[in-house]
A = this chain, B = another copy of it.
Amino acid sequence: MRVVLLSGGGGGARFARGLTEVLEPGELTVVGNVGDDLEILGLHVSPDLDSLLYTLGGLIDGERGWGRADETWSALESAASFGGEDWFRLGDRDIGLHLVRTQALRVGTPLSEVTAQLTERAGVGTHVVPATDDRLRTHVLTPAGRFGFQEWFVGRGHRDDVDGVEYEGATEADAAPSVLAAFAAADAIVFAPSNPYLSIGPILAVAAIRDAIERRRVRCIAVSPLVGGKAVTGPLARMLTRMAGGTTAAHVTDCYKGLIDALVIDESDAPADAEVELVVTETLMRDRDAERRLAEFVLGLACA
């Protein structure tokens, strides 16, 4: 069963790991968000692609929830002592990856090709593909001004309310080469329990991807990132309240109008009236077992 998953980092990456335990090797393609990408210290960093790679490759620091296990922090400390920026936390092992990627991008290798090489090196059997090889950057509009995603999220600790989100470069962005082929071959499409505005939104902002989903002949299932009307981590609940008017399942389906056939919601979320089918299960992924159970549930629903 070939599945295309749209995903951010964090919870999306853990859900992807659950899918790999249910699907055969090679059956899963994860289309990763690149709206969070940044250039810092001359390095091209792709936080969501890296969370996917680290999680699927068994390299992630499970407790911290991001970056590499057994990480050291000497390079950033040194860079800061010489006047380099250190507001964005980069561990040494993480920097090793960024060096290889940045060097490849600089000689013209597309991000999708670099990502394929890196995941293969990490022994990851899943296809991890950036939504686009073109430059696409998420910006947030706040009462304090317009900020690049990482400037707002990390630099300002996402303290500002968000009135709107812009995906700079999305209009001109082509889908990465293998993305459309993956949609064409897919038996199901799934949206991971990631932030609709900040993780899934930048992927859907690529017109060719949105078109492919709108014209699909297979089911498309989204997993709500809310548990009891709250985000497991991150600023989603606050964003939904301000931008969509609430944090019920219906406010989530509104983010995916015309794109999904069903929304999987947590038992703790009161059923709401929504334009698509709402299906209830336990969505909180407390451990690896829970990841797999949620993945099984969603795949069962996608085949229904």
Asked if A22 is at the interface of the complex by the 8 Å CB criterion, the answer is no
Asked if A72 is at the interface of the complex by the 8 Å CB criterion, the answer is yes
In the complex, residue of chain B having the shortest beta-carbon distance to the beta carbon of A44: B42
A82–B97 CB distance below 8 A: yes
Please, which residues of chain B bring their CB within 8 A of the CB of A75? 75, 92-93, 95-96, 99
CA–CA, A165 and B94, complex, Å: 39
Instruction: Report A67-94 residues with CB < 8 Å from chain B CB.
Output: 68, 71-72, 74-84, 91-94
Please, which residues of chain B bring their CB within 8 A of the CB of A95? 75, 78, 92, 95, 99
Please, which residues of chain B bring their CB within 8 A of the CB of A72? 72, 74, 92
A74–B91 CB distance below 8 A: yes
- Of A12-20, A117-125, A219-227, A293-301, the segment with at least 4 beta carbons within 8 Å of chain B is A117-125
Q: Given that A82-B121, A83-B117, A117-B83 are known contacts, is A74 also in contact with B99, CB under 8 Å in the complex?
A: no
CA–CA, A43 and B50, complex, Å: 21
Asked if A102 is at the interface of the complex by the 8 Å CB criterion, the answer is yes
Asked if A257 is at the interface of the complex by the 8 Å CB criterion, the answer is no
- Among A81, A94, A117, A121, the one with the most B-chain Cβ atoms within 10 Å of its Cβ is A81
- Among A83, A99, A106, A122, the one with the most B-chain Cβ atoms within 10 Å of its Cβ is A99
> Within the oligomer, what is the number of copies of this chain?
2
CA–CA, A233 and B99, complex, Å: 32
Q: How far is the CB of A183 from chain B (nearest CB, A)?
A: 28
Instruction: Report A85-143 residues with CB < 8 Å from chain B CB.
Output: 91-97, 99-103, 106, 117-118, 121-122
A43–B99 CB distance below 8 A: yes
Provide 19 A-B residue pairs closer than 8 Å at the C-beta atoms, listed in order of the A residue: A42-B103, A43-B99, A68-B78, A72-B72, A75-B93, A78-B92, A78-B93, A78-B95, A79-B97, A80-B96, A82-B97, A82-B122, A83-B100, A83-B121, A84-B96, A84-B99, A84-B103, A95-B95, A95-B99
Given contacts A42-B42, A72-B74, A75-B96, 16 further A-B contacts (CB under 8 A): A41-B99, A42-B103, A74-B74, A74-B91, A74-B96, A75-B93, A76-B96, A77-B93, A77-B96, A78-B92, A78-B96, A82-B97, A84-B96, A92-B92, A95-B95, A95-B99
